[in-house]
């Protein structure tokens, strides 16, 4: 059996048989048909055990990581002990950056999880900047204005760079809201 396509098909058939996705006699018939009388033992048993699972496992891992990061963000919002604030800020910052890069890589493959990762990363980044404000600059409205403007700038830049309409709109609307608030409170 030298044809790689036949090997792939036979691996899938053996995977179906092992996981009882088709009745065993159907799998035996299909395997014999595609093997053209050759011995089925020459197939690598590792391949048919993992025939479909890697992509499903990857999506599950991404979902679990996203949920864990969201839980860290919620814990981050409710922590008030200042000795742990720096550690939590670093953890959430690293998680947000990792999520941005993961979402960027996933978006290249047009996966359905990419918008979820983008939104989770944006929420993490925003919650991290708000937590930095409340910890280090509490009461300083100029610092809050600058941090929110920086967030909106990152959203706008990400939207333009990755051609994501929802980030572009969020960045523009956020900047317009900040400018409008500044102009209203100036007079």
Reduce the secondary structure of 85-113 to three states and give it as a string. Answer: HHHHHHHHHHHHHHHHHHHHHHHHCCCCC
Lowest-confidence pick of 64-73, 149-158, 170-179: 64-73
Res. 116 pLDDT band, cuts 50 70 90: confident
Give the whole-angstrom CA distance, residue 54 versus residue 73: 28
The string of pLDDT tens digits covering residues 118-151 is: 787 788 888 888 888 888 888 888 888 999 999 9
Output the pLDDT for position 50: 47
Residue 91 and residue 137: Cα distance in Å, rounded?
20
pTM of the model: 0.48
Higher pLDDT, 84 or 68: 68
Per residue in 26-47, pLDDT (tens digit) is 778 888 877 776 655 555 444 4
Provide the pLDDT for residue 178. Answer: 92
| CB contact at 8 A, 40 and 68 | no
Closest C-alpha among 146, 164, 151 to residue 124 = 151
The DSSP H or E segment spanning 84 is helix 82-108
pLDDT of residue 118: 79
List, as own/partner pairs, every contact residues 99-103 make where C-beta atoms lie below 8 angstroms and the sequence separation is at least 24, other chains included: 99/66, 99/69, 99/124, 100/125, 100/158, 102/62, 102/65
Q: How far is CA 42 from CA 2, 11, 19, 35, 48, in A?
A: 11, 11, 20, 10, 12
What is the spatial distance between Cα 100 and Cα 117, in angstroms, rounded to a whole number?
7
Q: Give the separation between CA 107 and CA 131, rounded to whole angstroms.
A: 28
Rounded CA separation 98/157 (Å): 17
At 180, which helix (H) or strand (E)?
helix 165-186
57-75: pLDDT as tens digits: 667 777 777 777 777 666 6
- Residue-level pLDDT at 157: 92
Answer whether 130's CB lies under 8 Å from 162's CB: no
The per-residue pLDDT for range 94-112, each reduced to its tens digit, is 777 777 777 667 666 656 6
Task: Determine the Cα–Cα distance for residues 40 and 82; give it in Å rounded to an integer.
Answer: 64
């Amino acid at each position: 059996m030298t044809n790689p396509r036949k090997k792939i098909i036979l691996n899938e058939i053996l995977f179906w048989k092992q996981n009882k996705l088709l009745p065993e006699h159907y799998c035996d018939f299909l395997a014999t048909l595609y093997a053209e009388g050759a011995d089925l033992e020459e197939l690598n048993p590792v391949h048919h055990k993992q025939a479909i699972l890697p992509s499903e496992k990857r999506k599950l891992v991404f979902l679990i990581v996203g949920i864990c990061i969201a839980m860290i963000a919620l814990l981050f919002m409710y922590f008030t002990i200042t000795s742990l604030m720096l550690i939590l800020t670093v953890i959430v910052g690293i998680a947000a950056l990792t999520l941005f890069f993961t979402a960027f890589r996933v978006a290249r493959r047009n996966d359905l999880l990419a918008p979820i990762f983008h939104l989770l990363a944006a929420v993490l980044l925003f919650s991290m900047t708000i937590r930095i404000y409340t910890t280090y600059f509490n009461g300083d409205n100029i610092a809050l204005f600058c941090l929110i403007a920086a967030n909106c700038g990152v959203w706008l830049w990400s939207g333009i760079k990755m051609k994501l309409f929802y980030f572009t709109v969020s960045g523009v609307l956020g900047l317009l809201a900040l400018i409008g608030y500044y102009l209203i409170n100036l007079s």
